[in-house]
């Protein structure tokens, strides 16, 4: 067997944090557009044995695979065989559980779970299971997916990482604001922020409980893409869309914090680029909106790491989903530095 071709990322700061992914299996949600496409592509170009594009629209994702192979297939001959499209609807918990069951049939372990998928839409719609659509898709679905895939992550032969894209929630960290007891008076962008703040707080709580259980080979990380040109404001007015197009960074650069969170989380603890206990990656530039990736303080870090807030969100989210137990002893937690 010939050595697998590994492509270097054009952003040096991202390349530094992207080790060889040969031998690893990855799942990227929302991989049919924007940040998800770039993340899946670069995990494959760095050598992953398999990258699963977990998407609602499989036909669209098939087209994404065709485009990636058209661009890189000549340099990476086995690329198509390592990009796999699978159906996943995060707004339907039965679909989430079916996806996890299919992954367990396909693989004995999972090294990388990137909870990338997210939506920003007007209020008024609900998921199959009755949650407000953004909260259900952006928070409830990913938590259920992480819990269902945890046995495979725990079985990873080396390090494994759960990376969650958690932008847009800095103003939604009040405990009452993270749990949608009522949507009365709430508008679209605060509701979106609520779901992303919940992502960040829950990911920190997951890391806290993994460490308390003595599990140090599975890391829970978060990232922030900065102001990146994606489809999140496509439904806004002309001026907002024009400003977004003029001042945002491109998707390739916006993906680098997410890739950095994955790569740094996989590096051995004694590696100089290894991430801290619960790392948060974002752009290095002005107000963390643009530029190459680096490990940075979380937005409102003291509140994000608040044990009472994390415990309440953990308990209420698990109860809402119907999770009685995780695949490890999650009953205790420790303070994070």
Helix axes 307-321, 188-212, angle to 10 degrees: 100
Torsion of CA 16, 17, 23, 29, to 10 degrees: -130
Residue 126 sits at the vertex; the CA angle it makes with 125 and 127, to the nearest 5 degrees, is: 135
Catalytically annotated residue among 192, 202, 227, 280: 192
User: Is 192 one of the catalytic residues?
Assistant: yes
3-class state of residue 121 by DSSP: coil
Q: Which residues pair with 161 in a beta bridge?
A: 112, 219
| Other CB atoms within 10 Å distance of the CB of residue 291 | 18
Q: Which helix (H) or strand (E) holds 284?
A: none
Q: CA of 236: how far to CAs of 38, 181, 239, 245, 249, in Å?
A: 24, 27, 8, 12, 18
C-alpha to C-alpha distance for 162 and 265, rounded to whole angstroms: 9
Q: Catalytic residue numbers?
A: 192
């Amino acid at each position: 067997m010939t050595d697998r071709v590994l492509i270097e990322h054009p952003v040096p700061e991202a390349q530094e944090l992207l080790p060889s992914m040969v031998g690893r299996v990855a799942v990227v949600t929302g991989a049919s557009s924007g940040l998800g496409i770039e993340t899946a592509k670069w995990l494959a170009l760095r050598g992953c044995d398999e990258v699963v594009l977990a998407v609602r629209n499989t036909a669209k994702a098939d087209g994404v695979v065709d485009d990636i192979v058209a661009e890189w297939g000549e340099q990476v001959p086995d690329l198509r065989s390592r990009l796999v499209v699978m159906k996943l609807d995060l707004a339907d918990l039965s679909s989430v559980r079916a996806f996890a069951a299919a992954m367990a049939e396909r693989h004995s372990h999972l090294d990388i779970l990137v909870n990338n998928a997210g939506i920003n839409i007007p209020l008024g719609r609900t998921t199959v299971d009755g949650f407000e659509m953004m909260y259900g898709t952006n928070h409830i679905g990913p938590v259920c997916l992480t819990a269902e895939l945890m046995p495979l992550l725990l079985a990873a032969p080396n390090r494994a990482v759960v990376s969650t894209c958690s932008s847009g929630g800095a103003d939604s960290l009040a405990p009452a604001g993270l749990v949608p007891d009522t949507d009365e008076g709430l508008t679209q962008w605060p509701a979106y922020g609520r779901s992303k703040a919940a992502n960040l707080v829950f990911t920190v709580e997951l890391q806290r409980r993994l460490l308390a259980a003595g599990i140090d080979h599975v890391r829970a990380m978060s990232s922030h893409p900065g102001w990146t040109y994606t489809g999140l404001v496509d439904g806004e007015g002309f001026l907002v869309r024009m400003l977004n197009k003029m001042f945002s960074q491109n998707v390739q650069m916006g993906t680098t914090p997410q890739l950095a969170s994955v790569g740094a989380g996989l590096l051995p603890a004694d590696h100089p680029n290894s991430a801290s206990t619960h790392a948060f990656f974002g752009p290095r530039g002005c107000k963390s909106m643009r530029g190459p990736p680096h490990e940075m303080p979380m937005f409102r870090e003291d509140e994000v790491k608040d044990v009472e807030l994390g415990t309440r969100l953990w308990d209420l989210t698990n109860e809402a989903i119907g999770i009685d137990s995780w695949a490890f002893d999650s009953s205790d937690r420790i303070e994070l530095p």
